[in-house]
Amino acid sequence: MKNLELIAYAKQNALSGKNLDRASIIQLLGIPPDSPECEKLGKAARKVSSAITGDQAYLSGSIGVDFAPCSMSCEYCSMGKKWGIVQKTTQYTDEQVMEWANQYVAAGARRITLRTTEFYSPEVLGVLTAQIKKSVPGEYEVGLNMGEFDLETANRLYEYGVDYIYHTVRLGEGKNTRFTVEERLKTIQAVLDSPLQLHFCVEPIGVEHSDEEIADRIMMTIDYCATGAGCMARVPVKGTPLGALPQISERRMAQIAAVLRLAKCTGDISVHPPCELAVEWGCNSLTIEVGANPRDPEYCPDSEWKHFTAQRAKTWFQKHGYQFSNTLECRNKCVNP
């Protein structure tokens, strides 16, 4: 099929409630980002987004709890111990975490993610989650982006009040990280076997990744029926082994998000770092973040990363035809067998 025919087919396929096949995903990813064909791809993804989400958009708030040297030393992360960028541990107090959770919820965030380095205690995060749920009023979910864990821990986290886990198999896993794919999959399976929801992103996407590698992660997103799905660019951090490789362009980012939207026929699609063109092309979920950040050599405890605020996210959503949602109605309905 020619590219324009494939775009029309992919759009129709998603609208009829079907996920896309790997070969088609690879072909769509191969369309030059600056081409008129890519504009058509983006417009098709936006139409599909309307049908799937009812033009409801969502905001998430991420809180990087600890800024600390992490012995896993992933080759793109500012906190990798080996790179010597972060020398000492700094972390939010429980009160500060609560304060940010409060601010996020008041600003309309419906998901609050607590993010930590690999070996942060799940027990401490469980207690913190319970505290947030008790003291921050509003309709929202709390999720964790933390290290590896088993089913017993997953069940315990759910009992504490955790709603979802962000976990994924990174691009370049085992090559640019000290994790094996199997270790990541074990944790993902623990989430799937528990009552927790899984959030999964294609990340961290860099110029070093082929269309095939990206397509394989899109296929994983579909196969695991992730409630929250999205794509994230690798942000080059000076001083890390991958720090000299440039970030992918905004158009490439928006293209990958559009392909993900067409490939996965259910649920919300997020993009990070925030990218307005990706919203124009079908993303309906954005994240604001504070505190420790693997994408930044500096700790940002007092203001939103890159000054991307809830207000800015809402402006983008409105500009591109989305209603900013105050509920969590747009649920992923898995269509896989």
**Contact flag: residue 70 with ligand SF4 (CB under 6 A):** yes
Q: Which long-range contacts (CB under 8 A, 24 or more apart) does 243-248 make?
A: 243/76, 245/206, 245/207, 245/208, 246/207, 247/206, 247/207, 248/205, 248/206, 248/207
Query: What distance in Å separates the CA atoms of residue 240 and residue 237, rounded to the nearest whole number?
Result: 6
**Judged by CB under 6 A, which stretch of 75-83, 132-140, 215-223, 242-250 contacts ligand SF4?**
75-83
Total H helices, total E strands in the chain: 11, 11
**Contact flag: residue 94 with ligand SF4 (CB under 6 A):** no
Minimum distance, C-beta of residue 204 to ligand SF4, in the bound complex (Å):
9
- Torsion-angle region of residue 38: left (phi > 0), alpha (psi -120 to 50) or beta? alpha
Q: How many chain residues bind ligand SF4 (CB under 6 A)?
A: 10
Place of tokens 């994790």: 179
Which is closer to ligand SF4, CB of 117 or CB of 285? 117
Which is closer to ligand SF4, CB of 3 or CB of 73? 73
Encode 229-289 in three state secondary structure: EEEEECCCCCCCCCCCCCCCCHHHHHHHHHHHHHHCCCCEEEEECCCHHHHHCCCCEEEEE
**Judged by CB under 6 A, which stretch of 73-81, 131-139, 224-232, 235-243 contacts ligand SF4?**
73-81
Identify whether the C-beta of residue 281 lies closer than 8 Å to the C-beta of residue 258: yes
Minimum distance, C-beta of residue 63 to ligand SF4, in the bound complex (Å):
14
Which is closer to ligand SF4, CB of 65 or CB of 278? 65
Identify whether the C-beta of residue 236 lies closer than 8 Å to the C-beta of residue 211: no
Site for ligand SF4 in 18-57 (CB under 6 A): none
**Contact flag: residue 73 with ligand SF4 (CB under 6 A):** yes
**Contact flag: residue 230 with ligand SF4 (CB under 6 A):** no
Query: What distance in Å separates the CA atoms of residue 63 and residue 129, rounded to the nearest whole number?
Result: 12
**Contact flag: residue 4 with ligand SF4 (CB under 6 A):** no
**Neighbour count for residue 289 (Cβ, 10 Å):** 25
Minimum distance, C-beta of residue 27 to ligand SF4, in the bound complex (Å):
31
Minimum distance, C-beta of residue 214 to ligand SF4, in the bound complex (Å):
19
**Contact flag: residue 232 with ligand SF4 (CB under 6 A):** no
**Judged by CB under 6 A, which stretch of 41-49, 70-78, 189-197, 258-266 contacts ligand SF4?**
70-78
**Contact flag: residue 187 with ligand SF4 (CB under 6 A):** no
Applying CB under 6 A, among 79, 97, 202, 214 the residue interacting with ligand SF4 is: 79
Which is closer to ligand SF4, CB of 72 or CB of 185? 72
Burial of 40 (0-12, 13-18, 19+ CB in 10 A): middle
Site for ligand SF4 in 101-160 (CB under 6 A): 117-118
**Judged by CB under 6 A, which stretch of 44-52, 71-79, 157-165, 271-279 contacts ligand SF4?**
71-79
What SS3 class is residue 86? coil
Minimum distance, C-beta of residue 125 to ligand SF4, in the bound complex (Å):
14
Which two three-digit tokens encode residue 186?
């074990």
Cβ-based neighbours of 336, under 8 Å, separated by 6 or more: 19, 222, 223, 225
| CA distances (Å), origin 214, targets 29, 61, 80, 233, 268 | 8, 26, 24, 11, 19
**Judged by CB under 6 A, which stretch of 65-73, 105-113, 265-273, 302-310 contacts ligand SF4?**
65-73
**Contact flag: residue 80 with ligand SF4 (CB under 6 A):** yes
Which is closer to ligand SF4, CB of 138 or CB of 243? 243
Applying CB under 6 A, which residues contact ligand SF4?
70, 72-74, 77, 79-80, 117-118, 294
